[in-house]
Structure 1
């Protein structure tokens, strides 16, 4: 049995979505959510991983595969999956996990996705997990009576498995690895041993372009196949897809098919790049740090945006409180203005009344003074008249009551007023 471990990841959604895509069978899990519901499983994983905000990559993903033509029951796979987690020191009483079987290659295999953060907040560190997986698989082969995997170094498999980098890229993009897409399409196109033209028509119908490498002798030296912007030599897909195998799986006649082969010659398509495993690994090693940097940058930008949003919210709340306070102050000022206006009116009325009363009192005083002056003047006149009369010859005596006269004059003045 062969085992491999992907790099720890940040997104449970991408991993769960990948393992539940296409043809799969549920094996086992300790989670409560519907085992076919990506959203619910993701939320359940994230709920527990949120216990430890310091763990930025809580996703663990491993895959175990059998040699070609070997099969296990679901129950056997369940035992192997649990034993593997135990070998890796992942306590399934604390750590969430889900295991499914994929049937998209000729090698039966399972995927295990687990949460590095435990229900109790503990963290599985997973140091040297790749080497520990190899050792665990060797022990599981013995325990479960599986075929002891021999080293494949220097050998070519009939069907090559996706590399670790290809699988990780598929996890990031959510798309099936190009290697598997090509292998499945080529296998289907060779069914029934068609002629070369029919074989080419079949692969082109599903978006695959063949390119034949024609030697200077005119013989076909090899073939490559591309899907999208990725191409593989047939031999890189496995011996089963090399030109030496394909030409025996289809009806090929060199003389008849020479023109057809040359029309798809790689020499005419120099812009088509055929990527070998080494180059793919180099590209992946270059892209992965950039991807990590972009993810870190994205997190930083997201954090900054969240902080800005929180600041704007606080400012908005402060502005609303200030506006409310200003409105309250305006209402108080308006009420005070109304009171002042009322007081001003009262003051004006009081001032007017006071002024009128003053003028009236002054008039009364003047009249009284005028009356007194008039009486004094009258008395003076009467006195003078009396003196004159004393010096005149004796006349008939006229009796004048001065008090009655004065009273009469005062009464006349009052009536005029």
Structure 2
């Protein structure tokens, strides 16, 4: 469930947008009389006129459950959600003027709440950090009823992103190892061979025309990683070096020519392959961790 809340100027336009029978239906109200948007706004404006200094005299709230959750929610649950959410926001559904309207014109039901920020004594409801409070209140209500919250969805997506990135890193390292074993003669050859595995290798060129780093793009997933993010032992800057520093630094050369000028440094190839050390598709680091784990288990026995 996603929640948004903000203080804003009231007005008939806002009420016409929210209280619209073509979009949905009224769920709940308190302290307001009237049928049309204009009548409802006029009734709320009576109390708001007690504090004419306040411009943002209306609190607008949107509660948007997931499509799956909203399809299971009854009106009674939506009413409980509204009351519970307002209480979590330190708002009183029995004292504060508000109207809650359900919109059903989109793929899933979502709830709009228009609440009078001006209280009966003319004082204002504190709206400090109201957006953050709304997110926290929505998360708590979702947890209470077993619904999905924005926080849960974000955490799930982050876990999936990390797992996907981990898999892509492994794919890039394996392709890199296989290409290096064939000893590509220069960077262009290396790029073409990596492309066969669906991986783009893009040098980062500075203003002086020198390559200062590399990025890998995995075509299938669109994942874009710096070489150091894939593995610090790739060391492409050492692996591909220019045999002609003067030509490489010439401002008259275009980037394509600069890249072509980078040839394989065979003197460091072997050490880099050993550092990567893929054995059966696994890195030495992984093998080392497994060995240490087995050793600890053996000692515990």
TM-score under structure 2 length normalisation:
0.48
Structure of greater relative contact order (alpha carbons < 8 Å, 6+ residues apart): 2
Which of the pair is proportionally richer in strand? Answer: 2
> Which protein has the bigger helix share?
1
